[in-house]
Structure 1
Amino acid sequence: MSLINTQIQPFTAQAYHQGKFVEVTEKSLLGHWSALVFYPADFTFVCPTELEDLADEYAEFLRIGVRIYGISTDTHFAHKAWADTSPAIAKVQYTLIGDPTGRLARAFDVMIEEEGLALRGSFVINPEGKIVLCEVHDNGIGRDAKELLRKVKAAQYVYNHPGEVCPAKWKDGNATLKPSLDLVGKI
Structure 2
Amino acid sequence: MNKLSPLPSHAAGMELDETALKAAATSHLDEGAVTPAFSQHRDDIVRLLNDALATELVCVLRYKRHHFTAHGMTSPAIAAELMVHATEEAAHADLLARRIVQLGGKPDFAPDTLLARSHADYDTSSDLQAMVKANLVAERIAVEAYRQMIALIGDKDPTTKRMLEGILADEEEHADELKDLLGT
TM-score range, shorter chain: under 0.3
Looking at CA atoms only, which structure, 1 or 2, has the larger radius of gyration? Answer: 2
Richer in helix (by share):
2
* TM-score (norm. length: structure 1): 0.27
Q: TM (normalized to structure 2)? A: 0.27
